[in-house]
Structure 1
Amino acid sequence: MNNKVSTTAPPEISGSIPCLDLDPFSDEFLINPYEGHATMRVAGPVVWLERYGVFAVARYAEVSAVLSDHSTFVSSRGVGLSDFAKDKPWRPPSLLLEADPPEHTEARAVVSKILNPKLLRSMKEEFQAQADAVVAEVAAKGEIDGVKDLAERYPLQVFPDWVGLDRDGRENLLPYGSMVFNTFGPVNELYSMALERGSAAVPWITEQCQPGRPDPDGFGAQIHREAAAAGYSEDDQARLLRSFLSAGVDTTVHGIGSAMQALAEHPAQFEALKADPKKARAAFEETIRYASPVQTFFRTANGDTEIAGVAIPEGSKILMFLASANRDPRQWEEPNSFDITRRAGGHVGFGFGVHACLGQMLARLEGECVLNALARLVKKIEPAGEAKIQLNNTLRGLDYLPLRLTPSTS
């Protein structure tokens, strides 16, 4: 990996900031980003990535500052490399992810009326029962692929049921989500491949989002009813629901997969979880910090501003390394250690501020239920081969995770 650093800023940028010849969207970086993260954190609070002509922040303080200042660093111009003020987006922008207040506030209010802690508490018993059934079944097999057999299977079961989607076609959720997140990066091979695979899923996703399509008792139908009452058109009602179908599965799949990998590689941590299954929520929280499913997001400077004393011209793209912030030694003790007893609250794995992930409560519920089931129903979880990373311009997770499970009853 070429992490060469110079201190000469490009001529169009005032001041002198570290300039890095580093490609955060290369296969090499995506497979092992931690060396690059450390290079950026050491180089300075703000760096310039020469290859893409963007500012980048990799320390916790600066990532948090950009995330929290939604009026200066806007989302409406795209949360990827493309600037919607200059380039037409490939699909209508999300009313939640790619919008700013007051439009974002109004859309979020519609969803928040339904998706709230009280609803999640009412769902927990059923979600836990389904997690127990899936974990018991896969544990009985012995050797499994933790991704396909559990990390993908469980969310693809409970999430579509909850939304009220058709049973046929649910396999479209993963390639569609992969496409959305890949297109936040540059137009590279990953972008093109994801667009090709994901485009086949678009008709099913579009159909499932239409008013009257989701099960009338599900979350999707509730979204339509609340959005209609708030004056949203049928097209915008569908866009609101589409935001959840875009991001409601992949990130949770990666979180669960990474949690299982971490527990298999850190048997003392799994023993601590078995000793107190109530630590399942804390274990999932530490996973999101330690192995952040969402690695990066962009913001765009809506006017001339500055970050940590560095002048940022209007229209500049700022690449935030969320995963790097979550391992910043300025914020965390022994940040590269996986420790389920850590107070991991405050990580930026689900974002921060007004744009914090609206579905994070659901992701946490699913992750907690799976890890709780593993703690109670599995005696031992061990690696059974080499895991394979799934390459994505924005997400980091596993494509394959060979594990050996020993049921608690054996």
Structure 2
Amino acid sequence: MTIQSTAQEVPVLELDPFSDEFLNDPYEAHEQMREAGPVFWLERYQLYGVARHAEVSQVLADHETYVSSRGVGISDFAKEKPWRPPSLLLEADPPHHTKARHVVSHIMTPKVLRGLKEGFQERADELVARVAAGNGTVDGVADLAEAYPLEVFPDFIGLPKDGRENLLPYGSMVFNTFGPRNSHFERAMERGAKAQTWIMEQCQPGAPAPDGLGAKIHAAAADAGYNEEDQAKLLRSFLSAGVDTTVHGIGNALQCLAENPEQFGYLREEPSLARAAFEETVRYSSPVQTFFRTTNKDAELSGFRIPEGSKVLMFLAAANRDPRQWENPSSFDIRRKAAGHVGFGFGVHACLGQMLARLEGECFLAALARHVEKLEPAGEPVQQLNNTLRGLDSLPLRLTAA
């Protein structure tokens, strides 16, 4: 079936990318979307989709045509009121986005992150060595993938020890709300309601510890002319996406390495592959599966006309396994040069925290290589179903200490 476009006929797909079946195992559907054409129409939600690497990259790069200020979820902020005040980073366009991004990027520089590496590595080594010392079955999510980011990230921001567990349900809520109002959306809103109060309290000026990133963001934002409400919004944007994506990245890496022992063997032999292993995990399992843009004017993409005001759903995960871009894309290979994946976005809206996520992933996997001799599945993993993210609720693993 096709619908008539002013340029070409757009293939119509009946897929539901937010169904439990799709979220549990999206890969066959990803292939179907890639093969349908460079642009397709999702009939159920009345929106356009792109799943090939070239078109996803093009939409991400063209921020003037495909805007973020009308929402990076299914809701169009030009037609509907958002459930919370829009993010000054994620849901804004230049020049407003440029100003806000400048505030954070001039604090979180490569030099600052290099200064964090020794401390982050020490804490990764301590955690992995302690967990591995039991030489038994652990939950790779709760005991490792959640434990490490929930320790180092809040300390970096300057958050108190008590309450930081709220970061996970809050992040889950934010990412679920980018999808339709299905059961995942409603459940996440219910779970995240209490967490939201704690998050908002921590984002207020004076709440973060004076030596943390949060206080520095407030100071820099004040210098840039932002009032206290917008200072809090800037920090809130950072907290929204700073933990869940890294937790899922580390959890997915543990699953991939446990299920591909030869790849864990390469990492054990050469711990310097830790950064490449995390990068390949982001390409292969894509913790952030999808994002939306909205056309701010009539557009043409690969010969297809897309009218102004159209929602365009980018399947980042499908693009990251596009055989037009990658050789053997469905194979997990930590020796692959995974540069060019779109797992952290692309262009002016590329993930602002990606350097921090990469640092955490690298330190954790380097510690795993040093302190764990054998990493094996010890049961069936439980997939976490989220309208935007792909990760695990639990991952039974058997660890043998090195």
- Give me the whole-angstrom Cα distance separating, in 1, the residues matched to 2:196 and 2:217: 20
Unaligned runs of 5+ in 2: none
Q: Secondary structure at the match of 1:17?
A: strand
Q: Secondary structure at the match of 2:312?
A: strand
Q: Secondary structure at the match of 1:203?
A: helix
> Which residue number corresponds to residue 346 of structure 1?
340
Q: Does 1:56 align with 2:49?
A: yes
TM-superposed CA distance for 1:200, in Å, is 1.1
> Residue 253 of structure 2 is aligned with which of 247, 259, 265?
259
> Which residue number corresponds to residue 78 of structure 1?
71
> Which residue number corresponds to residue 3 of structure 1?
none
Please tell me whether the aligned partners of residues 249 and 361 of structure 2 are also in contact (alpha carbons under 8 angstroms): yes
Could you report, residue by residue, the CA deviation over 1:250-306 in whole angstroms, capped at 9, with x for unpaired residues?
Answer: 000000000000000111111101111010000000000000000000000000111
> Which residue number corresponds to residue 20 of structure 2?
27
> Which residue number corresponds to residue 93 of structure 2?
100
C-alpha RMSD of matched pairs (Å)? 0.8
Q: How does 1:3-402 map to 2 (within 5 A)?
A: 6=1, 8-9=2-3, 15-141=8-134, 142-402=136-396
- Give me the whole-angstrom Cα distance separating, in 1, the residues matched to 2:106 and 2:226: 15
Q: Secondary structure at the match of 1:299?
A: strand
Could you report, residue by residue, the CA deviation over 1:226-266 in whole angstroms, capped at 9, with x for unpaired residues?
Answer: 00011100000000000111000000000000000000011
- Give me the whole-angstrom Cα distance separating, in 2, the residues matched to 1:120 and 1:393: 31
Could you report, residue by residue, the CA deviation over 1:178-221 in whole angstroms, capped at 9, with x for unpaired residues?
Answer: 00000000011110110111011111000000000000000000
Q: Secondary structure at the match of 1:338?
A: coil
Please tell me whether the aligned partners of residues 275 and 361 of structure 2 are also in contact (alpha carbons under 8 angstroms): yes
- Give me the whole-angstrom Cα distance separating, in 2, the residues matched to 1:134 and 1:126: 13
Corresponding letter in the other structure for 2:84: R
CA 1:343 to 1:12, structure 2 compared with 1: closer, same or farther past 3 Å? closer
- Give me the whole-angstrom Cα distance separating, in 1, the residues matched to 2:122 and 2:209: 22
Please tell me whether the aligned partners of residues 5 and 305 of structure 2 are also in contact (alpha carbons under 8 angstroms): no
- Give me the whole-angstrom Cα distance separating, in 1, the residues matched to 2:238 and 2:145: 18
- Give me the whole-angstrom Cα distance separating, in 1, the residues matched to 2:339 and 2:355: 13
Give the stretch that moved more between structures: 13-22 or 247-256.
13-22
- Give me the whole-angstrom Cα distance separating, in 2, the residues matched to 1:49 and 1:270: 39
TM-superposed CA distance for 1:13, in Å, is 7.0
Q: Secondary structure at the match of 1:19?
A: strand
Please tell me whether the aligned partners of residues 175 and 386 of structure 2 are also in contact (alpha carbons under 8 angstroms): yes
Could you report, residue by residue, the CA deviation over 1:39-59 in whole angstroms, capped at 9, with x for unpaired residues?
Answer: 000010000000000000000
TM-superposed CA distance for 1:351, in Å, is 0.1
Q: Secondary structure at the match of 2:332?
A: coil
- Give me the whole-angstrom Cα distance separating, in 2, the residues matched to 1:176 and 1:12: 40
List 4+ stretches of structure 1 deviating above 6 A. Answer: none
Aligned residues: 401
Unaligned runs of 5+ in 1: 1-5
TM-score (norm 1): 0.97
Q: Secondary structure at the match of 1:379?
A: strand
Percent identity for Structure 1 against Structure 2: 71
TM-superposed CA distance for 1:15, in Å, is 3.7
TM-score (norm 2): 0.99
